[in-house]
Amino acid sequence: MRKKIIAGNWKMNMTYEEGQKLTSEIVQMAKDENLDGVTLVLNPPFPHLYVVKKLIGGTSNIFVGAQNCSDKESGAYTGEVSAPILASFGVDYVIIGHSERREYFKESNELLATKVKQALAAGLTPIFCCGESLDIREAGTHEPNVKYQLTDSLFDLSAEEISKVVIAYEPIWAIGTGKTATAEQAQEMHYALRKHLASKYGKEVADSISILYGGSMKPSNAAELLSKPDVDGGLIGGASLKSRDFIDIAKSY
């Protein structure tokens, strides 16, 4: 059975005090309210990781993730953070290939393939992001474009390795724009990605991989999106900065 995952990407937000407050609220709400087997992943900026991990404590359904990792294991790479360093702090997940990393920092499919392998080698669960821009969507080439991202970055992995990866589909045109893909559009792409995974690794493996929706999910649209058979959760941006919204999304299954 695939994991139901609601992952919060704080991006470059939250001071130390704000991060503590948000984490404490989420942990308390998760204890008090029925989340029905949903896994929560908090992905704060690097400086927050230690305290977020500490505040989560032994809460069974909440995990900590990083927003990025280096493609190098160690060395003279000032400003970078490696997967083994993240693992040593008790980090569980790491976002790789977010659309903002691809666009602003020009991260290539080849680079992301290396990052995924570094994460897996360190025992982290990669949340691998893929998606299309508005011009690609309007040109009608979104499906082959996003499939290519999977092929180029993930299809060198073994079946055992890819089974440990979480996929996050990001319609880039729906991030921070106020637009949201319809539930039908989300399902269509999630189904296409699962079918593409099956073409390489077989249906059993493809059916075991969680595919998250990463395009402006919020409490008002979460239930409809999460009702679709191939939408296994969400990679949440803005709504993850409000504890009530984040928990309400998790309760939308």
Active site residues: 98, 170
User: 75: buried, middle or exposed (CB in 10 Å: 19+, 13-18, 0-12)?
Assistant: exposed
Whether residue 10 is annotated as binding a ligand: the answer is yes
Question: Known binder of ligand: residue 238?
Answer: yes
Q: Is 208 within any annotated ligand binding site? A: no
Closest CA to 170 of 137, 214, 222: 214
Residue 173 annotated as lining a ligand binding site: no
| CB within 8 Å of 191: residues ≥ 6 apart | 229, 230
Does the annotation list 11 as a binding residue?
yes
Angle subtended by helix axes 183-201 and 142-154, to nearest 10? 40
Residue with tokens 């994991």: 3
- Binding positions are 9-11, 176, 216, 237-238
- Binding positions for substrate are 9-11, 176, 216, 237-238
